[in-house]
Structure 1
Amino acid sequence: MTTPDHQSPAPQPPASTARDLIYRSPLALVAGVLLLVLVGWLGIDALIGGHGRTPWFALAGLILLVPLVTAFTLRPAVFSGEDRLRVRNPFRSVSLPWGEVASVRSGYTNEVIANSGTKYQLWAIPVSLRDRKKAARRQSKADRPGRSGGFGLFGGIGGGLGGGDHDGPTRAESDRIVDDLRTTLERRGKARSAQGEVSVRWAYEVIAPTIAGAILLLVLLATG
């Protein structure tokens, strides 16, 4: 019987390969692209064809507006991973390990609350009161007794013609996303790999050109 000269290392658990779930506002993305196209078209046209101080005003406007439009429409996103929640807002990004998240709250705005009590708004998941009302109506109709029989045009069979608000989800889209985040928090909040510190990074790539454009615009106005 032989004894090995060295022991094999203990097998390590496989690293998680799950990708982050990314939540963004489709309407904000569409609006951002359209606004950037409009601002770019007007600004470049003024730069090329303008006279006198017009090109300078156009340049200042582009430097000021392009970062702002990008910050409030294309930039916001929420990344839900196995170990942490990353929130990318217009002017800063916040990384919160699930162990540091106290709750995810939905009211007139959606926000995540850290254990320290600090609140971070989820810009990428806007609240739509209209969607909530529509979902509440659908839920109310779904909860009515005898809904399947209804009182439709043909003796109430099948609930009448057309589904109207009967069909569709009974939770608004933003509320369903918050539910998903809460589920992940409950599942991963105590995991060893989901512990750590909250980190905040300011988006200087957005702030710096915005300030530069505003200063240039103020100088042009002051010297006009």
Structure 2
Amino acid sequence: MTTSRPESKDRIYRSPAGMAGGVLLLVIAGWLGIDALIAGQGRTPWQALAALILIVPLVCAFTLRPAVYANEDRLRVRNPFRVIVLPWSKVASLRSGYSNEVVDTSGTKYQLWAIPVSLRARKKVARQQARGATADGRGSRTPAFGRTAPAPAAPSRATTDQIMDDLRELSEARASEESAQGEVSVRWAYEVMVPAAAGAILLAILLAMG
């Protein structure tokens, strides 16, 4: 009798800045929309309702929804309008440029919305490393004791770059494992697309009616 291996726990990656921005946008949209629903006249409440039906799913899709889940068997990418599941055996590379993306063995690219590239963070790390190298060369003095103390170590990588390094390491280590075999699957996020499309259609009809 064989027992199935328990599925490993996911590592979950999200964008804190994106989530904070999404919450702020939802608060503003809700405040303006509810005010228009209560105080608006004529078709204004209906237009406000249609706008909310359109805007809320889109804001959630681009800010709160994106996430990357990684375990020992596969990489699951939840983007605004799609969910992509890639067994590690199907991951050809994980690339970092102006955006982070995963490329499968067929050459198809998928952007990792939840792990955005921050050029500002890269420049900050580079400056800290440069200052650290200078401090290592001359040391720093502690006024109370007059001794030379080592400079604090600067981070070697920006946070999102380090995440991509970790994912590459996991992919290389697990690609040949039996549990990491399979096919790439892509599912469209109809739970986002359908409400947004309905809100857009309703809003267009109301605006056309004047």
Structure with bigger gyration radius: 1
Identify unmatched segments of 5+ residues in structure 1. Answer: 1-8
Aligned to 1:3: none
Aligned to 1:218: 204
Aligned to 2:92: 102
Aligned to 1:132: 122
Distance between the aligned counterparts of 1:219 and 1:182, measured in 2?
48
Post-superposition Cα deviations, 1:107-136, rounded to whole Å, max 9, x if no partner, equal: 100000000000000000000001001112
Identify unmatched segments of 5+ residues in structure 2. Answer: none
Count of aligned residue pairs for this structure pair: 208
1:190-209 to structure 2, matched below 5 A, reads 190-209=176-195
Query: TM-score, with normalisation over the residues of structure 1?
Result: 0.86
Please report the RMSD computed on the Cα atoms of aligned residues, expressed in angstroms.
2.1
Paired AA for residue 177 in structure 1: I
Distance between the aligned counterparts of 1:62 and 1:151, measured in 2?
57
Q: Does residue 169 of the first structure (1) align with residue 155 of the second (2)?
A: yes
Identify which of 51, 57, 77 aligns with 2:47.
57
Give the C-alpha shift of residue 142 in structure 1: 3.8
Distance between the aligned counterparts of 1:17 and 1:204, measured in 2?
27
Query: TM-score, with normalisation over the residues of structure 2?
Result: 0.91
Post-superposition Cα deviations, 1:11-45, rounded to whole Å, max 9, x if no partner, equal: 54x62353100000011111111111211121112
Identity %: 62
Distance between the aligned counterparts of 1:171 and 1:16, measured in 2?
33
Identify which of 183, 191, 205 aligns with 2:169.
183
Aligned to 2:11: 21
SS in structure 2 of the partner of residue 157 of structure 1: strand
Identify which of 31, 37, 60 aligns with 2:27.
37
Give the C-alpha shift of residue 151 in structure 1: 6.4
SS in structure 2 of the partner of residue 147 of structure 1: helix
Distance between the aligned counterparts of 2:5 and 2:124, measured in 1?
42
Q: Is the CA contact (8 Å cut-off) linking 1:131 and 1:172 kept in structure 2?
A: yes
SS in structure 1 of the partner of residue 149 of structure 2: helix
Give the C-alpha shift of residue 149 in structure 1: 3.6
Q: Is the CA contact (8 Å cut-off) linking 1:79 and 1:85 kept in structure 2?
A: yes
Q: Does residue 74 of the first structure (1) align with residue 64 of the second (2)?
A: yes
SS in structure 2 of the partner of residue 52 of structure 1: coil
Q: Is the CA contact (8 Å cut-off) linking 2:90 and 2:181 kept in structure 1?
A: yes
Q: Does residue 158 of the first structure (1) align with residue 158 of the second (2)?
A: no
Paired AA for residue 18 in structure 2: A
Cα gap change, 1:15 to 1:153, in 2 (>3 Å):
closer
Paired AA for residue 139 in structure 1: Q
Give the C-alpha shift of residue 93 in structure 1: 0.5
Q: Is the CA contact (8 Å cut-off) linking 1:148 and 1:158 kept in structure 2?
A: no
Give the C-alpha shift of residue 219 in structure 1: 1.1
Q: Is the CA contact (8 Å cut-off) linking 1:150 and 1:156 kept in structure 2?
A: no
